Amino acid sequence: MPKSYTALKALENNLEASLYIHIPFCNSKCSYCDFFSVTDHSLMSDVLDKTIAQTAQYIDYFGIKSIPTVYIGGGTPTSLPLPLLERLLDFVGTLPLSDGAECTVEANPETVSPDLLTLLSSSCINRLSLGIQSFSKSTLKTLGRHCDFKTNFAKLELVKSKWHGKLSLDLIASVPHQTVSDSIEDIDTAVSFKPDHISLYALTLEEGTPLFRLYSGDLDAIDDNVWIIAADHLEVLGYRRYEVSNFSLPGCQSRHNIRYWKLKPYIGTGAGGVSTLHTGDGDLFRIANVPSLERYLASDGLLCGAETEEVAGKSYIFEYLMMGLRMTEGIDKSDFRHTFGREITDTIPETISEWKTRGLAVETENSVVLSRQGLLLLNQFLLDALSELE
Ligand code: SF4
């Protein structure tokens, strides 16, 4: 165990931390996905029991007294049979949730049923995040999605009639061969269901996935402008962008994800779950659970075979910039000062000055923000910042 781990426990006592629970099961594997999930459900019950036990152990060990947000993700949490999902939700309901805690569960349309919605409505879950991705037959086929477009429609209609909590929809744009009008049509259809929140991701070809093998040598099939134009369209329809890929109606941002981008502490449990806490020195401390069901089940002790990493110094500053600048509110100068004991404008002065001159960044009294165009060039800003940090 790293030396700072003891300091971590001491510091974290009475901690407010978010909770992420990873459920690494899906009904089928999508062709673009590199998340840790399996389609063999034979170890489901054992893995769930261990995940619940690990969550209870973490909360006790780190002295977590208040949980402002919970996110049950995966994988497809709703691929759990209802009695197992009920066991998990009952357990989450016993945790020290803050008043008004935001509790999200991810679902795929094919797993949505009246019984599922009844179960969620009677639990602590108050936000449903539905992986629609597209309503187009050909786009869904390219993505290797389990759901066809008719199921996406039908299950959304069911959700609208029976679910009274918050609703977020995931869409993907810039899929191979997808045109601007295909994506606009997806957005118009999604918006017709009046979700509170939409995540619109640009497809990334992740190495090792079937889609990468098919299209990494055929990049002409992918038009990055589709995502850019689709995102603009979403804003025209009244969904305000608050992060590179996230849009919401007023007051409906994902509080859980904002905590990630602000590097607030959270514990991540389950095989493949990741935690980010702070050491006694104020640096980041990351715990990455092993992405293997067999090794997760076979491991003992608090960490369940997890790998740990301390993120300090320049690496911490870089990660802070990388996450914080994703948000349209940018970086709060006083939070930077409080975290690192120095001004952001003294840390990367040349980068900020050059990007301001080019009209790609804005500095106010309280913040440093990338402009609309600057946000599209975030990676370049980070490269400039990195070379200045070194
Ligand atoms: S449903 Fe989600 S987690 Fe499962 S394979 Fe598809 S993209 Fe990956």
d(Cα 31, Cα 172) in Å, to the nearest integer?
Answer: 13
> Residues 225, 317: one domain?
no
Question: Tokens representing 149?
Answer: 């477009």
- Report the half-sphere exposure of 250 (CA within 13 A, side-chain side): 0
> Residues 255, 367: one domain?
no
Domain hosting residue 115, numbered range: 4-259
pTM for the structure as a whole: 0.95
> Residues 75, 161: one domain?
yes
Domain boundary at 259, 283, 303, which?
A: 259
Q: 291 in a domain, yes or no?
A: no
First to last CA, the chain: 29
> What's the gap in Å between 145 CA and the centre of ligand 1?
8
**Which domain CATH number covers 248?**
3.80.30.20
Q: 288 in a domain, yes or no?
A: no
Please identify, by atom number, the ligand 1 atom nearest to the C-alpha of residue 32. Answer: 7
Count of structural domains, the chain = 2
pLDDT, position 337: 96
> What's the gap in Å between 37 CA and the centre of ligand 1?
7
> What's the gap in Å between 325 CA and the centre of ligand 1?
27
> Residues 249, 347: one domain?
no
pLDDT at residue 336 greater than cutoff 50: yes
**Residue closest by Cα to atom 6 of ligand 1:** 30
pLDDT, position 151: 94
> Residues 23, 167: one domain?
yes
Domain boundary at 223, 240, 259, which?
A: 259
Q: 293 in a domain, yes or no?
A: no
Summary mean pLDDT of the chain: 94
> Residues 176, 241: one domain?
yes
Q: 388 in a domain, yes or no?
A: yes
Among 76, 105, 111, 172, which residue has the most ligand 1 atoms within 8 Å of its CB, making it the best to mutate? 76
Domain boundary at 219, 235, 259, which?
A: 259
**Which domain CATH number covers 358?**
1.10.10.920
Q: 292 in a domain, yes or no?
A: no
> Residues 40, 168: one domain?
yes
pLDDT band at 342 (very low <50, low <70, confident <90, very high): very high
Please identify, by atom number, the ligand 1 atom nearest to the C-alpha of residue 106. Answer: 2
> Which of 5-19, 155-169, 220-234 is predicted with the least confidence, judged by mean pLDDT?
5-19
Q: What angle do CA 31, 33, 37 make, to 5 degrees?
A: 115
> Residues 230, 321: one domain?
no
> Residues 326, 248: one domain?
no
**Residue closest by Cα to atom 2 of ligand 1:** 75
> What's the gap in Å between 247 CA and the centre of ligand 1?
21
144: which DSSP letter?
Answer: T
pLDDT band at 305 (very low <50, low <70, confident <90, very high): confident
pLDDT at residue 252 greater than cutoff 90: yes
> What's the gap in Å between 365 CA and the centre of ligand 1?
42
pLDDT at residue 3 greater than cutoff 50: no
> Residues 78, 172: one domain?
yes
d(Cα 245, Cα 202) in Å, to the nearest integer?
Answer: 8
Q: Which residues line ligand 1 (CB under 6 A)?
A: 26, 29-30, 33, 35, 37, 74-76, 108, 131
As a three-state string, the secondary structure of 84-103 is: HHHHHHHHHHCCCEEEEEEE
pLDDT at residue 63 greater than cutoff 90: no
**Residue closest by Cα to atom 3 of ligand 1:** 75
**Residue closest by Cα to atom 5 of ligand 1:** 29
The tens digit of pLDDT for each residue in 163-201 reads 999 999 999 999 999 999 999 999 999 999 999 999 999
> Residues 168, 248: one domain?
yes
pLDDT band at 1 (very low <50, low <70, confident <90, very high): very low
Q: 266 in a domain, yes or no?
A: no
The bridge status of strand 361-363 relative to strand 367-370 is antiparallel
Q: 384 in a domain, yes or no?
A: yes
pLDDT at residue 304 greater than cutoff 90: no
DSSP string, 214-235: HHTT-GGG--HHHHHHHHHHHH
Q: 283 in a domain, yes or no?
A: no
> Residues 254, 384: one domain?
no
Among 25, 29, 143, 171, which residue has the most ligand 1 atoms within 8 Å of its CB, making it the best to mutate? 29
Cis preceding-peptide flag for 75 (omega within 30 of 0): yes
